[in-house]
């Protein structure tokens, strides 16, 4: 019997283009922000603003009950936000001062590998393709951070990025196993608000000065506004895609975003594409493709079947 696939609509393709370009560009935008802004304070503040924006939209379109669900949902969403934003995004904000944004994107692209490994803790056995992807992905990370001509400091900050991607994966893994707000947008708003607040507090605790924001240059402020508004609204597009597009298509952002990030870093930030970066990047992306393919569900999309967001932005 001949099986035909339903054509992908123009709206879905347009939404995927937004996710590819906007999320792929967040790494360069973060690099521009922290160039002249205190990294933890700037990261925290932009997530708080994004949380207020998304939360206001939820209240306006879906009502107060959607934004303030009963039970412990807000607290658990806040805990997830602290891990994702207070640790995962903080690692990115700190590291891109010393590591090229394209390299950062490639290292963080390994997040689906950590999620697949975490599933072992609850007795879920990955498919053979997933195991192969995990092995290849880890080899790719070693290739990315291991060139002998890289400064020790850069290698250490690459390690910070890996730790941040593990934190992001752990939070994504927990999201499917704890009580969260029924409305996904409300959940994201609380994650941004509480996680961003935690990042702000950490910035102050380590000596960053809020007043340093006002001495930042215009490029940093433009990037800050872009991340606070455009990148945050892209999350709404992502949530819409989860219920309107094949999960296998949505998941492709996990290996398209790093390609976009590397390209933008070269074009607009003078970043170099070395043989080591190309080799390690290709290996990492091959591993991620195999993991995403191996983890693809055979039924309706489930939250833990999709690589949940990335540290360039919540979602």
Task: Check residue 229 and give its pLDDT.
Answer: 93
Q: Show Cβ contacts of residue 257 under 8 Å, excluding neighbours closer than 6 positions.
A: 19, 20, 23, 24, 105, 109, 310, 312
> Looking up tokens 């409300």, which residue turns up?
186
Task: Check residue 165 and give its pLDDT.
Answer: 93
Q: Cα(268)–Cα(150) distance, rounded to whole angstroms?
A: 22
Task: Check residue 116 and give its pLDDT.
Answer: 87
Task: Check residue 298 and give its pLDDT.
Answer: 42
Q: Show Cβ contacts of residue 153 under 8 Å, excluding neighbours closer than 6 positions.
A: 98
Q: Cα(165)–Cα(225) distance, rounded to whole angstroms?
A: 24
Task: Check residue 239 and give its pLDDT.
Answer: 80
Residue pair 45/172 in contact (Cβ under 8 Å)? The answer is no
Task: Check residue 33 and give its pLDDT.
Answer: 97
Q: Cα(167)–Cα(201) distance, rounded to whole angstroms?
A: 19
Strand partners, 310: 313
Q: Show Cβ contacts of residue 247 under 8 Å, excluding neighbours closer than 6 positions.
A: 296, 297, 301, 305, 306
Task: Check residue 243 and give its pLDDT.
Answer: 77
pLDDT in tens, the chain (315 residues): 344 445 568 888 899 999 999 999 999 999 999 999 999 999 999 999 999 999 999 999 999 999 999 889 999 999 999 999 999 999 999 999 999 999 999 999 898 889 889 888 888 888 889 899 999 999 998 888 875 455 666 888 999 999 999 999 999 889 888 999 999 899 999 999 999 999 999 999 999 999 999 999 999 999 999 999 998 889 888 888 877 888 778 888 888 999 999 999 999 999 988 888 899 999 999 998 898 887 665 444 444 444 445 555 544
Q: Cα(252)–Cα(229) distance, rounded to whole angstroms?
A: 23
In terms of DSSP H, where are the helices of the chain? 10-18, 24-36, 39-62, 64-67, 73-81, 90-95, 101-108, 111-118, 128-145, 152-175, 184-205, 218-225, 232-244, 247-250, 253-269, 275-295
Task: Check residue 294 and give its pLDDT.
Answer: 78
């Amino acid at each position: 019997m001949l099986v035909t696939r339903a054509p992908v609509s123009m709206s879905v393709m347009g939404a995927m283009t937004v996710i590819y370009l906007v999320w792929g560009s967040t790494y360069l935008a973060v690099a521009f922000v922290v160039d002249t802004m205190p990294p933890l304070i700037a990261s925290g503040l932009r997530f708080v603003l994004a949380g207020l924006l998304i939360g206001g939209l939820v209240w306006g379109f879906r009502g107060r009950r959607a934004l303030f669900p009963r039970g412990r949902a807000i607290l658990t969403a806040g805990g997830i936000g602290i891990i994702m934003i207070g640790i995962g995004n903080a690692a990115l904000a700190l590291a891109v001062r010393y590591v090229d944004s394209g390299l950062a994107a490639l290292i963080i692209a390994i997040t689906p590998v950590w999620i697949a490994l975490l599933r072992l803790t609850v007795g879920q056995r990955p498919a053979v393709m997933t195991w192969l992807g995990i092995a290849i992905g880890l080899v790719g990370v070693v290739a990315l951070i291991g060139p002998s001509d890289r400064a020790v400091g850069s290698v250490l900050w690459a390690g910070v990025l890996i730790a941040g991607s593990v934190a992001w994966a752990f939070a994504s893994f927990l999201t499917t196993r704890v009580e969260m707000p029924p409305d996904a947008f409300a959940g994201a708003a609380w994650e941004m608000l509480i996680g961003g607040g935690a990042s702000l507090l950490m910035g102050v605790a380590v000596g960053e000065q809020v007043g340093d924001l006002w001495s930042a240059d215009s490029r940093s402020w433009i990037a800050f506004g872009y991340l606070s508004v455009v990148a945050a609204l892209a999350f709404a597009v992502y949530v819409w895609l989860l219920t309107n597009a094949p999960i296998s298509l949505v998941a492709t952002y996990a290996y398209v975003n790093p390609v976009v990030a590397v390209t933008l870093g070269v074009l607009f930030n003078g970043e170099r594409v070395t043989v080591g970066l190309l080799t390690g990047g290709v290996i990492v992306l091959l591993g991620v493709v195999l993991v995403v393919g191996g983890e693809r569900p055979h039924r309706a999309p489930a939250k833990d079947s999709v690589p949940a967001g990335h540290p360039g932005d919540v979602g």
